Structure 1
């Protein structure tokens, strides 16, 4: 009996039925995961260009204004560790759907926050809710997509995260310039809600996922402790913490520098600077290709050095040099992050999902803690102090990479 036009074409591999490249279901799944990445990271980072506005609107310091982002990333880090385990009982698709809709509605609610403290509470809860997406999206892809087409689908998801991070920053800046920050957040939340509904409509139901009721904390604790006992992995986690901390610090406080004299950039101009994310996306892909040829640790060390060079370039008083520095820093960071996250899978022994969750925990805790700590350096010594702070973190990350390389060789 021929399949109907609405049938989902799958390929049987063992007992698994995968979605295969070239079918409508594969394209719908890929597009749905692109929308999930776009929505997650546009909602997460939409407040970053608004930090100078928050500082003035609510009469808070730059360090305090950065809490609107740091609390979200901090709670996201905690949620990522738990979300994968929760999805075993609730289901991948259900958890992602709830997370995306909930986060979009919370962004809309942020636009109506009457005071600073309530705004922070909403942003913290939003980070907690958003943790259900990055923790589960890659697991869904790995379970449902034919391995021969997994790379393309995974690449589209990662592209969605990068595009969302850039778009959330750029669009918020433009909306805030012409409409004000509250309408800007309302519109970003509305766009996120449309993307979430598109995700729900497009994503095919799970076919290979087996629901596992109950929760065995001892299994998860043993898995996490096992990865922490791996000689090289803790140093890779340290790189995630330090590199992300330095990257977010530069992006958080560059806005305060560039809206002030002598630059006086408006919100649209400030938001457009975030289009340099495109250089980061390209650098991540190129770094991975080069790493396969000359060695991943070599590219990791080069990426960290490039990040430091970009940070130092921003010390210039000339605006073109500052923008060039941000471009170089962004390219170096994404190159480092793509290599480091790939090394986690190569160095981990079993339960790779738990190893990845530890990496992402370090990544977002670094964003949260160091991103806010940078505000104290900005208050004490201005931009020069911020750059020194980032260079210290990058130097420690470079040392960690050297140690991890030696330990990986010794334990190969």
Structure 2
């Protein structure tokens, strides 16, 4: 999905790099970068939109199908959830290395290679003979997909004029959202008729088409300046960011919010296909249309911060998420759906606030700061998918809700600790001398 923008999905799908800063003060006439209405801009925008669709459709392609995978392989929800956790975990581990490779070999090269590997694996996934092989393939797929969030926003920052950058990033983010949502919806309906293998195969073929069109449409970069792979520089930036208390809190908040979200949406299929609801697979897949609520809440997060401050917005997001979790315990389908709406709205708002704060807080090495947030975010996704499924196996939906509530309590506690630290820091500032 960066976390370095004011909207949540950008944080999910893009990692800006420090080298992505525009050249110093180009004039409007001399600036040869892309701009809306100019040659190449539409091709570039559509190409990255398709890349976003392919990335997130592949990344979460098995999430809506877990009950069917459990049934075929005779495994529990917690075991089947590894098909999601392995992909997001692979992405989390490889975001930093991929960001470094894009600095050396170029954004388009890394994105193209990443998509090529990911879609190739996607074509093999339907033929996995066992759960172990399926999980291994998904881990490789997630690691390959790490090259997209590590490179896409950097490409845009280098090739698009600053005034058009937010719009261009928005189109890429739209691809992320559409891919994540449509992948789950499509697999749900296809699987209902032909099974989960055909469903993930269809997603794989769609991703192949997106990858081919992406490579054909994306303009050749004209402003990329290759750097060298210097592990010491990377390690120093990572060390500095992890030494920053505020950044550590933001990373933890992002991971905890995603723990809630990953757990809920990994297990919700089991909840809705079992009694008392007994919904068919196609309807369960369509539940992911609730993601549209997240798009709205993420877009309003900036206004929440203006009115309530960053910590106030985080408190509100955490409270909304917790209310949704508790409401989803109801045995009524309408109330469960309303609970999912609140969980989704709260998650995306909180994620938007935390992710945008990362880029504002990092004084240098913003690429690495954002990549660390990405890693924490997807570690949270993997943990939520696994722990939420284990809790469901042990205690039903109430167990998954309990894990989510504990994560929200963690968010509120960390935010309160940050508020206290800020007050203490303000008190310790020297008072200006007066004459």
Q: Same fold (TM over 0.5)?
A: yes
2:260 corresponds, among 246, 251, 254, to 246
2:68–2:195 Cα contact (<8 Å) kept: no
Shift in Å, 1:379:
1.6
Structure 1 unaligned residues grouped into runs of 5+? 1-10
- Residue matched to 1:225: 239
Shift in Å, 1:255:
0.9
Shift in Å, 1:132:
0.4
Higher RCO (CA < 8 A, seq sep 6+): 2
- Residue matched to 2:407: 393
Whether 2:203 is the aligned partner of 1:188: answer yes
Return the alpha-carbon distance in structure 2 between the equivalents of residues 406 and 225 of structure 1.
25
1:13 corresponds, among 23, 26, 39, to 26
Return the alpha-carbon distance in structure 1 between the equivalents of residues 362 and 315 of structure 2.
20
Tell me the SS of whatever aligns to 2:33: strand
- Residue matched to 1:203: 218
- Residue matched to 2:432: none
Runs of 4+ in 1 over 6 A off after TM superposition: none
**Cα 1:229–1:40 shift into 2, 3 Å:** same
Shift in Å, 1:181:
1.1
1:12–1:18 Cα contact (<8 Å) kept: no
1:60-209 maps to which residues of 2 (within 5 A)?
60-209=75-224
Query: Number of matched residues?
Result: 402
Tell me the SS of whatever aligns to 1:13: coil
1:21–1:146 Cα contact (<8 Å) kept: no
**Cα 1:406–1:148 shift into 2, 3 Å:** farther
Structure 2 unaligned residues grouped into runs of 5+? 1-23, 430-435
Between 363-372 and 19-28, report the one with greater CA deviation: 19-28
Whether 2:317 is the aligned partner of 1:296: answer no
1:104–1:189 Cα contact (<8 Å) kept: yes
CA deviation profile, 1:57-92 (whole Å, cap 9, x unmatched): 101111010000000000100111110101122210
Tell me the SS of whatever aligns to 1:19: coil
2:261–2:384 Cα contact (<8 Å) kept: no
Shift in Å, 1:406:
4.4
1:232–1:408 Cα contact (<8 Å) kept: no
Return the alpha-carbon distance in structure 2 between the equivalents of residues 231 and 278 of structure 1.
33
Return the alpha-carbon distance in structure 1 between the equivalents of residues 384 and 391 of structure 2.
11
Whether 2:365 is the aligned partner of 1:351: answer yes
> Alpha carbon RMSD of aligned pairs, Å?
1.8
Whether 2:330 is the aligned partner of 1:316: answer yes
Tell me the SS of whatever aligns to 1:24: coil
Tell me the SS of whatever aligns to 1:392: helix
CA deviation profile, 1:209-236 (whole Å, cap 9, x unmatched): 11224x2111001101111111211010
Tell me the SS of whatever aligns to 2:300: helix
